[in-house]
């Protein structure tokens, strides 16, 4: 089965809005006669702001393939083989439980109070509202609910097909690595933005 990747709908929309605002402000400053003496600073500042938005809001994701789940948080990347996964939870965010470790997925937060109410109303109006006591984070209209459904669907399909070895969760290795590329992007973005502000 093909690889699937989930990013929060809210953060994708927010990223697009912020990127557009950065572009409009940068273009506006570049065509303003009073500031055309320092176009490089405007470009560096705009690129720095865009890099920060990308690193913080766009880069977190969770992906599934036939080998396991990959969680890309802002600073860390986790690779969870299916054999190591023992539970999927959505209490505060999508959380993957393995023996001795609980991995929170930044890209799939559980909804707040207002989001829970909206999602619950939409769920009650839907045709599949057969579970009235469902936890807010499990609702299919929420980021955590959609991401959890993606993980569970692949997990259960592979398990039912006999492609996941049982009883080896304790010995299955979960890889955790620092996302050096994303951290460098954030550092470069912050440096560019600070330099542009300081030299303006």
pTM for the predicted model, two decimal places = 0.84
Contact 37, 91 (CB under 8 A): no
* DSSP 3-state of 108: strand
Is 72 part of any domain?
no
Same domain, 50 and 115: no
**pLDDT one-digit tens code per residue, 60-116:** 999 999 999 999 999 999 999 999 999 999 988 999 999 989 999 999 998 754 444
Is 65 part of any domain?
no
**pLDDT one-digit tens code per residue, 158-197:** 999 999 999 999 999 999 999 999 999 999 999 999 998 8
Domain extent, residue 24, equals: 4-59+181-199
State how many domains the chain has. Answer: 2
Contact 93, 106 (CB under 8 A): yes
């Amino acid at each position: 089965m093909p690889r699937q990747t989930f990013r929060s709908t809210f953060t994708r929309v927010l990223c697009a809005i912020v990127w557009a605002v950065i572009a409009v402000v940068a273009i506006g400053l570049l065509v303003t006669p009073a500031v055309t003496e320092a176009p490089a600073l405007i470009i560096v500042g705009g690129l720095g702001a865009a890099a920060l938005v990308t690193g913080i809001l766009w880069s977190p994701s969770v992906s599934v393939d036939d080998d396991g789940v990959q969680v890309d948080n802002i600073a860390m990347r986790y690779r969870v083989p299916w054999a190591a996964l023992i539970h999927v939870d959505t209490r505060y965010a999508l959380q993957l439980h393995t023996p001795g470790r609980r991995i929170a997925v930044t890209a799939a937060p559980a909804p707040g109070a207002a989001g829970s109410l909206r999602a619950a109303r939409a769920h009650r109006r839907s045709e599949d509202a057969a579970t009235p006591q469902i936890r807010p984070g499990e609702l299919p209209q929420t980021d955590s609910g959609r991401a959890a459904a993606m993980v569970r669907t692949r997990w259960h399909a592979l398990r039912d097909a006999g492609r996941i070895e049982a009883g080896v969760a304790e010995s299955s290795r979960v890889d955790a690595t620092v996302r050096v590329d994303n951290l460098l992007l954030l550092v470069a973005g912050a440096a560019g933005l600070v330099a542009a502000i300081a030299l303006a």
